[in-house]
Structure 1
Amino acid sequence: MESIALWFAGTLGKYISSKLAVFIVSLVPILECRGGLIASALLKVDIRYAVPLCILGNILPIPFILLFIKRIFKWLKKFDFFKPLIEKLENRAMNKSKNMSNGEFLGLLLFVGIPLPGTGAWTGSLVAALLDMDFKKAITAIFLGILLATLIVGSLSYGLLAAF
């Protein structure tokens, strides 16, 4: 992930400010706030700016995913070209939901918050939507998960990367 975040930040950083690059990296699925924090440390963005930018960038698309992804998937499945991809995404998300054995809320919070490959706010939102979780419950768990991921990755990025 570090190399992807570095590439994004380096490429974007040539054309826009470092802070805007960090925000945009945080919007991207897979990278999210984790990649944004790595990019911000590598771009030497002060942590006081990096944390709010990464959290905002990561949380911004989540309500839209929770509210609209099922309708979008249903519409896309009408097209033979998209149907296998959508079914694969749905199956992958439902398989990931099996990791949420601690109850929906805590499971979703930990799923989003513990920085492992294939987890994060985007996937967590997809899982929550497919499980028909209550919107307020899901958005709260995802937000708290983003805060947890920010704490973990921010500590590593600004602590360990600063040593190099």
Structure 2
Amino acid sequence: MSLVDFLSRELKVFLLATLPVIELRGAIPYGIAMGMNPIHAAFLCVAGSMIPVPFILFFLKPFFMRLRSISMIRKFEKWLIKRTERKAKNIKKYSILGLVFFVAIPLPSTGVWTGAMAAAFLNLPIKYAFFAIFLGNIIAALLLTVLSHLAILNI
């Protein structure tokens, strides 16, 4: 038996939602497929996916600033900034409102991790960025919960 077998399904769903790429886009359908109440799964996933946001908003830029002298870190930072800017054109154009919609669209690479990185790199005010990411995350959770529940019902 592995460590994962001992975790409750709620904790599995919560932890899955904290991971980049998967976030609540993967955790909500997983939780519903495991038999969880869709609303319960959505609440857990919103909470789990928001865990990394303050760390990204507060510490991403200072992390890169301290480690810029390391060539590999500097190259990774440049790649990450380019990738984020490519994905976040509407955030640059529409600021906080763009950030809400960017996070709300339940597509790959449009979640809270990329939204928080874009907010950090674009120097959006942290309190507004956090609120926009949270609001967008709730919208994404609602969309995914409805779609996942309908899929389970075969509608």
Structure 1 and Structure 2 fold alike (TM over 0.5):
yes
In structure 2, the residue matched to 1:87 is 78
RMSD: 1.9
Whichever residue aligns with residue 138 of structure 1, its letter is A
- The answer on 1:45 being equivalent to 2:36 is yes
CA change 1:117–1:74 in 2 (3 A) is same
Comparing 35-44 and 18-27, the one that deviates more: 35-44
Task: Give deviations 1:92-134, integer Å, cap 9, x for gaps.
Answer: 1122221336621110000000112211111000000111111
Task: Give deviations 1:69-110, integer Å, cap 9, x for gaps.
Answer: 001122233212322222101111122221336621110000
In structure 1, the residue matched to 2:113 is 122
Q: Percent same amino acid among aligned pairs?
A: 36
Question: SS where residue 103 of structure 1 aligns?
Answer: helix
Where does 1:55-94 land on structure 2 (aligned, <5 Å)?
55-94=46-85
- Equivalent pairs counted in the alignment come to 154
Question: SS where residue 70 of structure 2 aligns?
Answer: coil
Q: Which residues of structure 2 form unaligned runs of 5+? A: none
Whichever residue aligns with residue 71 of structure 1, its letter is P
TM-score under structure 2 length normalisation: 0.91
Question: SS where residue 132 of structure 1 aligns?
Answer: coil
Kept in 2: contact 1:111–1:119 (CA 8 A) = yes
Distance 1:82 1:12 in 2: 33
Distance 2:69 2:152 in 1: 47
Question: SS where residue 7 of structure 2 aligns?
Answer: coil
Where does 1:123-142 land on structure 2 (aligned, <5 Å)?
123-142=114-133
Kept in 2: contact 1:22–1:40 (CA 8 A) = yes
Distance 1:101 1:75 in 2: 25
